[in-house]
Amino acid sequence: MNKKWWHDKVAYQIYPKSFLDANGDGIGDLEGIISRLDYLKELGVDIIWLSPIYKSPFVDQGYDIADYYAIAEEFGTMEQFDTLLAEAKKRGMYIIMDLVINHCSDKHEWFRKALADPEGEYGDYFYFRPGKLGGPPSNYRSYFGGSCWEKVPGRDLYYLHMFAKEQPDLNWENPVLRRRLYDMVNWWLDKGLAGFRIDAIINIKKDLDFPDLPPDGPDGLAGCWRMVEQVQGVGTFLTELRDSTFRQHDAFTVGEVFNMQPGQLPRFIGEDGYFSTIFDFSAHCLSDGGHGWYDAPKVEFAAWRKAVLDSQAEGMAAGFKANIIENHDEPRGVSRFLPDYAQTPAGAKMLGTVSLLLRGIPFIYQGQEIGMRNCRWNDIREFDDISTRDQYRLALAAGVPEAQALAACGAMSRDNARTPMQWSSEKNAGFTSGTPWMKVNPNYTQINVAAQEEDPDSVLRYYRTLVALRKDPAWRELFTYGSVEPAFQDRENVMAYTRTLGDRRVLVAANFGREPVTLNLDRPIKQLLLSNGPIAPTKDTLPLASCQCVVISY
Ligand code: TEU
Ligand code: CA
């Protein structure tokens, strides 16, 4: 395998709106990010992914872009962005941005021109189709609920949107549009950007016949992702995108890919893949409900362990996956993947350890490094997220009682990850001196950066040690390129695996159970590399208390 510059890196996702507000308007901004680069450096972060900072009406929090060449005023200016690039570079860190090119905003100039003249030049940048039998062209349901087709006022004509109606899908069949997107990507890369996280990219290929599909819900619609799962040809677009842009810059790219067709992984992340890597969502998909969040199953430990380890085996055979516990679309990992008794600092460290030492590129989501949890939500009006509001309606329409619908949203809402970063125990968690745009999690008085800086046993201090271990010159190669083998799978509550490179081997083991366990080793321990609590191993036995994790070489 050819080594690439990103293989041994650790990444961190910033959700700018909720990271740090420097000017007191209640909204996180670029100045705030710049002021915390040293904090990220100290954590051991190499690559910073910024969720969208482009000009946007924020219907979907910036994933609806109105101008690909402009910074949102809320976040700052292009000069500030250039400063961020330069300051990151000074510290040996890389910046990647979100690339949202399946759709844009309905406020984008292209769409405004298209809507004014659907038969004109810009009409071909989008998918306009005549209605069918007095209704929309097909029965597709968008990711945020309701039809994928929005009617053009006064005409029997519709445009396609797989997300909100304010996010019209771009017509990738049009070579002029594709060229304009590639030019834009290269413009950012020429500026010194290290690469991109690529949004919802699997959706760019449509079945141009837009056939009706068997309904999968009481609304008579079929999820538009079913079309994605059937259609052929996305690879042609992705190859062209790569060759016209990323490849020329040796850029790091991480694809957000759900609904991949079976057997395609090597094409996505292999030596000659479309992307450097793609996120591993296999554990997150375990809580996909049959109909929505209201019937989302709880994640069981055994299924979680299997999903993670199976995915590692699959990744190893193809390339590198990007490992996450949470992101801006997901609830907090501590609240989701840990049983009640483990939702503690020890549990947060344990979950972090088994995730960050997997093979692949680890992405830490802001606040994960201090063990942030889901928020307590008392009223549906506290949520901002478009998807949460849709899921609430969906639950009520299915006859779920209000309290239960609220609880389902509370457990699964994307806003759990979007509450402001908890910097200190001061007002608004030190996020803003003004009024925060989104509710602050009331637990900030207990869980915050400032307190954890002072506490040698804190989750934050542990994360620093954990990242440092991964990057320690003595172990870096092993944690980057070493193979992964599941271990102790016969032990009910133990998540364990070995990493092996040449004649060196490391065991990562964690006891997710409520009771202590003792693991018998088939060879003597050489060195204790890390643990989240006092541990007394013998030559070949490893006792683990509840929620204890350990990393040894042996
Ligand atoms: O997400 C794509 C996606 O498929 C998920 O959004 C999923 O449908 C959603 O989280 C359900 O609640 C990406 C971005 O990560 C997300 O924030 C955007 O809303 C979406 O694309 C549209 O750009
Ligand atoms: Ca601000």
**Mutate which of 15, 63, 144 for ligand 1 pocket (most atoms within 8 A of beta carbon):** 63
Cβ partners under 8 Å of residue 120, min gap 6: 113, 114
Does the CB atom of residue 143 touch ligand 1 within 6 A?
Answer: yes
pLDDT in tens, 394-447: 999 999 999 999 999 999 999 999 999 999 999 999 999 999 999 999 999 999
Residue 1 has pLDDT above 90, yes or no: no
Ligand 1 atom at shortest distance from the alpha carbon of 388: 12
- What is the number of the ligand closest to the CA of 431? 2
The predicted structure's pLDDT at residue 213? 98
Question: What residues does 509 pair with on adjacent strands?
Answer: 496, 550
| pLDDT given for residue 404 in this prediction | 98
Ligand approaching nearest to the C-alpha of 16: 2
Whether the pLDDT of residue 259 is over 90: the answer is no
Extract the tokens encoding 109: 């100039």
pLDDT at 382 (0 to 100): 98
Distance separating alpha carbons of residues 71 and 169, to the nearest angstrom: 21
- What the block records as the tokens of 189 is 């890369």
| 256 classed as catalytic | yes
- CB distance 98 to ligand 1 below 6 Å: no
CA of 387 from ligand 1 middle (Å) equals 9
- Atom in ligand 1 nearest the alpha carbon of residue 258: 4
| pLDDT on residue 374 | 98
Q: Are 459 and 345 in contact (CB under 8 A)?
A: yes
Q: Which of 197, 211, 206 is nearest to 228 (CA)?
A: 206
Mean pLDDT value of segment 30-47? 98
Beta-bridge partner residues of 310: none
**Would you say the pTM of this structure is higher than 0.85?**
yes
The predicted-structure confidence for 204-241, as pLDDT tens digits, reads as follows: 999 999 999 999 998 999 999 999 999 999 999 999 99
3-class SS of residue 70: strand
Stretch 522-550: mean pLDDT: 95
Ligand 1 centroid from CA 329, angstroms: 7
Pick from 104, 117, 106, 242: which is nearest to 177 by CA?
Answer: 104
Burial 367-391 (b: 16+ CB within 10 A, else e): bbbbbbbbbebeebebbbbbbbbbb
Residues 6+ apart with CB under 8 A from 479: 8, 357, 359, 469, 470, 499, 506
pLDDT of residue 416: 98
End-to-end CA distance of the chain: 26
Run of H or E including 33: helix 30-35
Both structure tokens of 317: 């055979």
pLDDT in tens, 487-517: 999 999 999 999 999 999 999 999 999 999 9
In this prediction, residue 196 carries a pLDDT of 99
Instruction: Tokens for 51, please give them.
Output: 């969720």
Would you state the structure tokens that stand for residue 120, as one six-digit string?
Answer: 């004109």
**Pairing label, strands 128-130, 157-160:** antiparallel
Tell me the HSE value of 4 on the side-chain side, using a 13 A CA sphere.
23
Cα of 49 vs centre of ligand 2, distance in Å, is: 19
199: annotated active-site residue? yes
Ligand 1 lined by 288 (C-beta under 6 Å):
no
Mean per-residue pLDDT, 289-308: 96
Nearest protein Cα to ligand 1, atom 18: 63
Q: How confident is the model at residue 91 (pLDDT cuts 50, 70, 90)?
A: very high
Residue 335, pLDDT score: 98
| pLDDT for residue 368 | 99
Across 383-398, average pLDDT: 97
- Which sign, positive or negative, has the C-alpha torsion 170, 175, 177, 179? positive
pLDDT tens for each residue of 102-126: 999 999 999 999 999 999 999 999 9
Residue with tokens 């910033």: 14
CA gap 253, 417 in Å, rounded: 23
For residues 447 and 344, give the distance between their C-alpha atoms in angstroms, rounded to a whole number. 11
What Å distances lie between residue 492 and 341, 430, 488, 546, CA to CA?
Answer: 16, 42, 9, 13
CA 438, CA 429: separation in Å to the nearest integer? 12
- Amino acid, res. 225: W
Q: How far is the C-alpha of 430 from the C-alpha of 442, rounded, in Å?
A: 13
- The band of 539, judged by pLDDT with boundaries at 50, 70 and 90, is confident
